[in-house]
Chain A
Amino acid sequence: MSFLNKPTLSAMQWYYSKNSTQLGPISDQEMREKTTSGEILKTDMVWREGMPDWSMAGNVPELSMVTPPPPPHMASPGQTGGGILNTPYSPPSIATGYATQVANIPNYLWQSIVVTILCCLPLGIPAIVYAAKVDNLKASGNIAGALEASANAKKWCIISLFSCAVLVAIKVAGLTTRH
C-alpha cells in the first residue's frame, strides 16, 4: 500500500479548497498553521504532490487534525454546486484515490460477530473491540491507528476460528478413537 509511505515533508507544496475555490500552493509549515488555527477544517479538501486524489484534511495522517467539522447547515442557502466536496482543481485521476482507500479500511465486524457466535469461545470479543476501534479511529482522522486496529481485528478473527477448528478436530478425533 503505497499511500502508507510517509514522504519527506520539507519541500511539500499543499493545495486546498475553500468555498469551491482552489487555494495554494502553500508550504507544509503554513499548512500546519492553517489546520491548527482552524482556518482549514477537517472537512476541507486538500491535496499535495504524491497524493493520488484530493482528500478531506481530517483523513490525511500527517495533518493529525483535531478541529471538528462545521455543522452542515452553516453553508449559505444560496450556495449551489457540490458543496464542500466540490474541488475546482482536478488532480491526476487514478481509479482508487486516497480517500477511497481510507474509507475502505476493513473493520472485520461481521467476521468478528460470526466467530463470536459460532466458535463459542469468548475469543471473538477482542475482534469486535478492534472492529469498533477501526471505525472510531478512522472517524477521528487517525488512519495509522485504524489500520493497526484493522490488522488486530483480523488477527483475532483468525485466532478464534483456528482454536475453534482445533477443538472440533480434537472432538472428532476423540469420537473416532473411542470405537
Chain B
Amino acid sequence: MPMRAKRALLLMILLAVTAAAVFIFYQSNISAPWLPECMFHKLTGLWCPGCGMTRATHAALHGHIKGAFRLNPLGMVLFPVALIGISLELVGWVRGKPLPLSLRLGRYGASVILIVILVFWVLRNIPAWQFSLLAPP
C-alpha cells in the first residue's frame, strides 16, 4: 500500500476512535437500552470478558477511574495497553519500517494474557460476592 493511502487510512482510524470517544463521553445515560449491548450477555445472561467496558470507558473519560475499574478491572488494564501497542505498530506500518520500540511480550506473554482473560471470564460469573466484584453492578 502506498504511503499516501496508509496515511489516509490512519487518519480515518484516528477520526473513528475520536468520534467513538466523543460519542461515549456525551451520553447522559450510558446504560440506555438503545446503546449497543453485548450479544453474549443478552443470549446467555453470563458476563463476557468485555462486559461493562462501554460504561467503564464513559466513567474513565469523565475522570471516575475507580468507578471504571469497578465495571471492568481487567479491561481497564488491558485496553489502554492494547491501544499503546496498536499505536506503535500503526506508526511503524505507515512509515514502512517497524519502530525500534514495540510492545512484544516474548514467547509466552500472549499465552499468559489469554489465560488471564479466560480465568477472569470464569471468575466474574461465579455468583459469590467476592467474585461478583469483578462483574459490573
Contact = CB atoms under 8 A, between A and B. Distances in A.
Q: Do A and B bind each other?
A: yes
A113 B36 contact: no
B109 interface: yes
A104 B88 CA distance: 13
B39 interface: yes
Contacts, number: 95
A116 B50 contact: yes
Contacts of A96: 97
Contacts of B40: 120-122
Contact of A128 (B37, B48, B81, B110): B110
Nearest to B53: A117
Interface stretch (B3-11, B60-68, B99-107): B99-107
Interface stretch (A33-41, A84-92, A130-138): A130-138
A117 B79 contact: yes
A108 B58 CA distance: 26
B114 A114 contact: no
B111 A114 contact: no
A144 interface: no
B98 to A, nearest CB: 5
Interface string A106-150: 110111011011111110110011011011101100000000000
A121 B114 contact: no
A121 B44 CA distance: 11
B110 A118 contact: no
Contacts of B39: 120-121, 167
A62 B50 CA distance: 41
B117 interface: yes
B86 A111 contact: yes
Contacts of A75: none
Contacts of B34: 171, 175
Contact of A122 (B48, B89, B109): B48
A114 B113 contact: no
Contacts of B75: 117
Given A114-B82, A114-B83, A128-B110, 16 more contacts: A96-B97, A109-B113, A110-B82, A110-B103, A114-B86, A117-B50, A118-B53, A120-B51, A121-B48, A122-B40, A128-B114, A131-B110, A135-B109, A138-B107, A139-B107, A167-B39
6 closest A-B pairs by CB: A110-B85, A120-B38, A132-B110, A139-B107, A110-B82, A117-B50
